[in-house]
């Protein structure tokens, strides 16, 4: 099947960029502090967890799959890592290894199941999400970890500076982890053989198989990477909120999926870019932040997010809609 | 397996029946009579319909080759619309006036749900947005609307006739179960005995072929999503009546479970295949596990893990069988000789 040929039309990234630019201009005109360093850093801090997950999910989407279980994986990873830290006095190195290891392991399980069961990846990962989350809640009885190690509360900042008024600006763990995550995704997708194979797998799995790619191995790597990213993101989130609750993360999966697809990643696989994913994420974050700055009640935040998603997907589809009339074969 | 059974009950349903029998056998020595004591059955009969009606709504979308992630948001918005109408009744209204308000409330709920369905159907049918994306957006939009309008609060205290939908019984049959039965039967008839039902299922197999047969698949998809929303609204009414309150966020954890129930019930996740009967059996299996977990004093959360585990096991058994099939076929080969030509 021919994928959305956009001959002559602007790519998703340009279109999204223009919308974001428009929002930024309007918001800056209404609230000059919108473009302040403090506000921008705060937006990045707040979106770091979702953003890091988007960078992982992008790889899965391009490979033609989807993962719903990452929030459950992240919950297990952070709970286990900080429980161990509390019990043994382990430090950063150990908890990163534990959370990353658990994430990688559970991701590999997803990869094995997706490539062997012959069931759609959305169904497989809904099932693994249920199993992982169910077991986590049973073991923990749904209880939060109330005290975290003291060192975990210390900031992990780079480039700490302060201005004349004494306001401190710092690139926090959340922000450099977010930047690192997108750099890693960009490098993997655009500069490695693995990345080219991921695009090929998502574009046409049968062709990829016949060319001789180990598709099962590729799936393992893709879902393993997603799991690893989810495990590491869980620590970034725990450090930001300074709390670990087994129920706090699950239920946010679809927000992450929405941000990734707003950026133009196709659910059919084979399409997507890191720039698009960043812009999709930025669109949602800027809108939420803007509404808050404008004094709109936070009760309406979901409504406007939904409005943006519906408008964006309708807009994307409208640009591709001529297919219905031009080429009936692509119903 | 006898061809008669295969034809009339279906392979998936036979497997589900076997799974059900197995569960009952396994549960009997562990739990004893309590599982099937009147109290146990009654509690099951009141719990099953919420997930059941929501799963039926999901099934409609899945069969057509799509997915509807907005069903629970729609159910809650419909319940809130109905609740708002009920609350607007003049104080001390009774008799015909109250009846009119109650009927109006349910109609308002259904109309609200139909509007969401129209939006979904327009996005998916006419604008060709992928169903996951479209309903992901409307889910957030509809839930956001409900939260915005109610500020996340609960509307409660409804008249007895509405509460009857959630806790009443007719001839000993709990009202929610009766509603589930009615909706399931109606959907079963609609899907198998009407032109629309056939078109809906065929679209799940091959939308292009349906379109090339001269059927307006855009209009058909519009109706599919309106139907899914209307079924979701009935689930909203049952939840509202059972809790004696309506809220923007009831039953959210059911969303992914409805997909799980459908797939376990033999509804193909890519559309086109599946029967209402299979889904109902799957729901009974899930409810039985849930009740057994409660009676055995297991964590309620373990139920979720067991549900996911069952789906994965069913998938694994199928995968292993597919691997073994050539081997088994080799063993059977001598028996399957072609019949001698007739004279």
Provide the residue-wise pLDDT of chain A in tens; the chain has 331 residues.
344 444 444 577 888 888 899 989 999 999 888 888 888 888 999 899 999 999 999 999 999 999 999 999 999 999 999 999 988 888 888 999 999 999 999 999 999 999 888 888 988 999 999 999 999 998 998 888 888 888 888 877 777 777 777 777 778 888 999 999 999 999 999 999 999 999 999 888 888 888 888 888 999 999 999 999 999 999 999 999 888 998 888 888 888 988 888 887 777 888 888 999 999 999 889 988 898 888 888 888 889 888 988 988 888 777 666 555 554 444 3
CB B186 within 8 A of CB B261: no
Please name the residue that has the structure tokens 């015909």.
B96
What pLDDT is attached to residue A7?
41
Count of the separate structural domains present in chain B? 1
Q: Tell me whether residues B208 and A331 touch, CB distance under 8 A.
A: yes
**B226 occurs within a structural domain:** yes
What pLDDT is attached to residue B271?
81
Closest Cβ opposite residue B143 in set A118, A120, A302? A302
The span from the CA of B189 to the CA of A70, in Å, is: 39
- How many angstroms away from the CA of B112 is the closest CA of chain A? 16
Q: Tell me whether residues B127 and A134 touch, CB distance under 8 A.
A: no
**A4 occurs within a structural domain:** no
In terms of residue numbers, what domain contains A244? Answer: 12-330
**B238 occurs within a structural domain:** yes
Angle (deg, nearest 10), helices A253-262 and A70-88: 120
**A263 occurs within a structural domain:** yes
Query: Which residues of chain A make contact with B216, given a CB cutoff of 8 A?
Result: none
**B340 occurs within a structural domain:** no
**B337 occurs within a structural domain:** no
- How many angstroms away from the CA of A91 is the closest CA of chain B? 31
**B1 occurs within a structural domain:** no
**B343 occurs within a structural domain:** no
Q: Tell me whether residues A116 and B138 touch, CB distance under 8 A.
A: no
Q: Is the dihedral of CA B95, B96, B101, B107 positive or negative?
A: positive
Residue B207: give its domain's CATH number.
1.10.3470
Q: Tell me whether residues B130 and A267 touch, CB distance under 8 A.
A: yes
**What is the chain A residue with the closest CA to B299?**
A138
Count of the separate structural domains present in chain A? 1
**A26 occurs within a structural domain:** yes
**A159 occurs within a structural domain:** yes
Q: Tell me whether residues B129 and A317 touch, CB distance under 8 A.
A: yes
Query: Which residues of chain B make contact with A310, given a CB cutoff of 8 A?
Result: 119, 123, 134, 137-138, 141
Q: What is the pTM of this model?
A: 0.86
The closest alpha carbon to B139, from A127, A305, A122, belongs to A305
Query: Which residues of chain A make contact with B211, given a CB cutoff of 8 A?
Result: 328, 331
Identify any residues that bridge with B169 across adjacent strands, giving them in sequence order.
Answer: B174
**B3 occurs within a structural domain:** no
Angle at the Cα of A45 (from A309 to A87), degrees rounded to 5?
120
**B76 occurs within a structural domain:** yes
Q: Chains A, B: CB contacts under 8 A, how many? A: 171
**What is the chain A residue with the closest CA to B300?**
A138
Q: Give the total residue count for chain B.
A: 343
CB B16 within 8 A of CB B282: yes
In terms of residue numbers, what domain contains B302? Answer: 10-320
| A160 SS3 class | strand
Mark the ranges of chain B whose per-residue pLDDT is less than 50.
none
**A2 occurs within a structural domain:** no
ipTM above threshold 0.90: no
């Amino acid at each position: 099947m021919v994928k959305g040929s956009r001959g002559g039309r602007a790519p998703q990234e340009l279109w999204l960029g223009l919308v974001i630019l428009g929002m930024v201009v309007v918001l800056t005109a209404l609230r000059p502090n919108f473009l302040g360093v403090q506000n921008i850093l705060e937006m990045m801090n707040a979106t770091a967890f979702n953003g890091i997950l988007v960078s992982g999910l992008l790889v899965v989407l391009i490979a033609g799959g989807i993962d719903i279980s990452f929030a459950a994986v992240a919950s297990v990873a952070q709970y286990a890592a900080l429980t161990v830290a509390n019990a043994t006095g382990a430090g950063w190195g150990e908890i990163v290894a534990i959370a990353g290891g658990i994430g990688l392991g559970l991701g590999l399980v997803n990869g094995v199941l997706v490539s062997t069961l012959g069931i759609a990846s959305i169904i497989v990962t809904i099932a693994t999400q249920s199993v992982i989350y169910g077991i986590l809640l049973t073991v923990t009885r749904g209880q939060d970890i109330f005290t975290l190690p003291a060192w975990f509360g210390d900031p992990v900042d780079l480039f700490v500076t302060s201005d004349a008024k004494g306001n401190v600006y710092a690139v926090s763990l959340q922000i450099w982890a977010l930047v690192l995550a997108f750099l890693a995704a960009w490098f993997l997708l655009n500069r490695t053989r693995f990345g080219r194979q991921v695009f090929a797998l998502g574009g046409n799995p049968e062709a990829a198989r016949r060319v001789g790619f180990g598709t099962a191995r590729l799936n393992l790597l893709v879902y393993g990477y997603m799991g690893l990213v989810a495990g590491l993101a869980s620590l970034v989130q725990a450090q930001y909120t300074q709390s670990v609750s087994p129920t706090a993360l699950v239920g946010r999966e679809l927000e992450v999926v929405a941000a990734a697809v707003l950026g133009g990643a196709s659910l059919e696989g084979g399409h997507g870019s890191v720039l698009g994913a960043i812009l999709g994420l930025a669109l949602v974050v800027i809108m939420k932040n803007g509404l808050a700055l404008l004094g709109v009640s936070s009760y309406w935040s979901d409504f406007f997010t939904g409005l943006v998603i519906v408008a964006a997907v309708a807009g994307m589809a409208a640009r591709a809609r001529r297919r219905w009339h031009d080429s009936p074969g692509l119903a | 397996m006898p061809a008669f059974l295969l034809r009339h009950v279906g392979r998936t349903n036979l497997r589900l029946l076997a799974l059900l029998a197995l569960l009952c056998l396994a549960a009997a020595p562990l739990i004893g009579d309590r599982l099937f004591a009147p109290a146990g059955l009654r509690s099951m009969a009141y719990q099953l319909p919420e997930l059941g009606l929501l799963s039926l709504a999901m099934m409609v979308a899945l069969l057509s080759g799509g997915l509807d992630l907005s069903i629970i948001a729609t159910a809650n918005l419909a319940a809130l619309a109905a609740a708002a109408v009920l609350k607007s009744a003049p104080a001390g209204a009774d008799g015909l006036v109250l009846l009119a308000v109650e009927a109006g409330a349910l109609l308002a709920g259904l109309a609200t749900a139909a509007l969401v369905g129209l939006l979904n159907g327009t996005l998916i049918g006419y604008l060709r947005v992928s169903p996951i994306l479209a309903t992901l957006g409307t889910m957030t939009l509809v839930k956001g609307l409900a939260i915005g309008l109610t500020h996340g609060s609960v509307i409660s205290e409804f008249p007895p006739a509405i509460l009857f939908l959630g806790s009443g019984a007719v001839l000993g049959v709990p009202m929610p179960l009766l509603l589930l039965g009615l909706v399931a039967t109606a959907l079963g008839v609609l899907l198998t005995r009407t032109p629309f039902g056939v078109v809906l299922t065929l679209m799940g197999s091959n939308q292009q072929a349906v379109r090339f047969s001269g059927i307006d698949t855009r209009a058909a998809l519009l109706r599919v999503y309106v139907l899914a929303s209307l079924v979701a609204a009935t689930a909203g009414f049952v939840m509202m009546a059972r809790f004696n309150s309506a809220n923007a966020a009831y039953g959210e954890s059911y969303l992914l479970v409805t997909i799980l129930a459908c797939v376990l019930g033999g509804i193909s996740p890519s559309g086109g295949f599946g029967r209402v009967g299979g889904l109902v059996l799957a729901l009974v299996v899930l409810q039985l596990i849930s009740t057994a977990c409660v009676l055995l004093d297991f964590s309620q959360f373990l139920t979720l893990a067991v549900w996911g585990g069952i789906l994965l096991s069913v998938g694994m058994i199928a995968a292993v069988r597919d691997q073994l099939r050539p081997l088994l076929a080799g063993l059977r080969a001598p028996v399957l000789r072609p019949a001698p030509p007739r004279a």
